[in-house]
A and B are shown apart, each in its own frame.
Chain A
Amino acid sequence: MKPMDKKDWEDIVKEPMSESLKARTMARARQELDEMREQQSRLHWAWLVPILPALGALVLFVRQRQEDQTKNSVLLVSDDEYLDAWTQLSDDELAGLDHEMLRDLDLLEDLDVLEEWDGTTTES
């Protein structure tokens, strides 16, 4: 007679679960997991709250800096360079741009380019 071993003992300890017990256990587990995930997602974003003002200030600072840089880069372009760009436009291209559109480009007004262009078109 071969005696039992530990594997046989485990078979004795095991009891097959009924389908309803399996379903009930899974339902409870799902509920628990949902709560756990909800709690984790709350914790996941909670750290943002104390640093939100600092983040906002950083965003404003970066935007301001970008605006300044754009302005500076435009101002660095000389009058001659602007005039060169204008003179290189063909008549068709100039005709495609209406007066209003050009007025929106404030920088051109600063450089008196608009008036000069107005004069040439009037003459032609």
Chain B
Amino acid sequence: MIFNLATANNVDPGWEFFPSFRDRVSQLLADCLVVFHKSLTPLALKQLTDDQCIKRLAVGEEDPFQVLFERYGDLVFGYCVKLLKDRERAEDASQDVWVKVIKNAKKYKSQGKFRAWLLQIARNTCFSLFRDMKKNRAEDVDDHEVEDVTQESILDLMSAEEDRERVKKCIEALPDNQRMALVVWMTEDKSYEEIAEQMDTSVSAVKSLLFRGRQSLKELLGEAHG
């Protein structure tokens, strides 16, 4: 105790002799870490899977959101455009979709199926908007028995070399209910039952919409060719 008092004013000579040198070294190390972090981060982030991104998004990280937005932004927006046939509303809808993704990130449990989860949010958002617009009530749904349509039979209508913009225009020209049923069915691989539930109609009505949608698309593509 007494010896400690006697030596209380003695100072360890170590770093205190070189304060400026110490500061410079620590600053240099900090700079190196920042450069290292910045050079590695974009690469590492792009390599994250969708599930890893959504997990990090759930704790409030912004970078993983940007990665998901870059991966699926065009798909979500395009899906909204196809369903709503209105670019302005589709812009609002796609923004709502991404906000819902952030809000529901913690609830995400569909391991490995982020794309399906995302498109489901987009579909629900668009259908809800569409109901508000009350457009779907204007069109009668014919639920007469028709032959089943396959996805291949729709893809067969178009060649791989087909002008994409022309096909897009033909899809947009389809009647609302036919277009919505066809786009959901082709993009999300949903069953007739699920689409019927979403569109608040019967399974036979969905089958009819898909059949008539295929017929209409065929005619429109033929007209465009002619």
Contact = CB atoms under 8 A, between A and B. Distances in A.
A93 B6 contact: yes
A2 B59 contact: no
Given A15-B74, A97-B5, A97-B6, A3 B95 contact: no
Nearest to A22: B73
B111 interface: no
Contacts of A1: 159, 161
Interface in A92-118: 93, 96-97, 101, 105
Nearest to B187: A13
Interface residues of B, number: 43
Given A9-B187, A21-B77, A101 B5 contact: yes
Contact of B155 (A9, A16, A24, A25): A9
Given A17-B73, A21-B77, A33-B62, A12 B102 contact: no
Interface string A1-27: 111111011111111110001101110
Contact of A3 (B69, B160, B164, B187): B160
B75 A14 contact: yes
Contacts of A71: none
Contact of B73 (A3, A25, A101): A25
Contacts of B74: 14-17
B209 interface: no
B29 to A, nearest CB: 29
B186 interface: yes
A30 interface: yes
Interface string A22-44: 10111011101100110010000
A95 to B, nearest CB: 11
Contact of B156 (A3, A26, A32): A3
Given A14-B75, A29-B98, A4 B65 contact: no
Given A9-B155, A22-B73, A25-B73, A85 B65 contact: no
A97 B168 CA distance: 95
B171 interface: yes
Given A4-B158, A29-B69, A40-B60, 17 more contacts: A2-B159, A4-B155, A4-B162, A6-B155, A8-B160, A10-B75, A10-B187, A13-B79, A13-B82, A17-B77, A21-B95, A24-B91, A25-B98, A29-B62, A33-B61, A33-B65, A85-B2
Interface of A: 1-6, 8-17, 21-22, 24-26, 28-30, 32-33, 36-37, 40, 85, 89, 93, 96-97, 101, 105
Interface of B: 1-2, 5-6, 59-62, 65-66, 69, 73-75, 77-79, 81-82, 90-91, 94-95, 98-99, 102-103, 151-152, 155-156, 158-162, 164, 167-168, 171, 183, 186-187
